[in-house]
Structure 1
Amino acid sequence: MSLVPENTLITADPDEGRALAIKLARGTVKATQPDAEVRGRLRPEYAEDAGSLVAIAHVVAIEFATIAAANNYWR
């Protein structure tokens, strides 16, 4: 399983970086729980839990900060 698509954090712009951050966060969930059936069964629980949604937003923000730094903040 490739945890970093195309083995790079370099993106063309911040919008592409944000999309990559979301992709990385989703990949982390799949790597942590590889069973798609289990993920599907758990989805309704966290989909309506504000704390869980804030937590994933935090994970995406951390991924995006890492990608932004790798891209020299697109300067």
Structure 2
Amino acid sequence: MKIFVRERVKATDGDKRPRFRVVGVAGGDLTLKVKRIRKCELKQLAEHTGAEIIYLKRDGKGSEGKRNN
């Protein structure tokens, strides 16, 4: 089983908010009820389910998701 996550844009180190966003889950029978998750919670989920965490990379520009008006 694999859990795909990416780092949120507005979340930085030291914030008291979840830093990662779940993008998808492949394989297994895991249902996540959250969109944003903390790293420690993510590690616990992976440990108990035997899942591998895949951290997706960002392009650093933020240009792919913007609308052209």
TM > 0.5: no
Give the helix-richer structure, 1 or 2.
Answer: 1
Give the strand-richer structure, 1 or 2.
Answer: 2
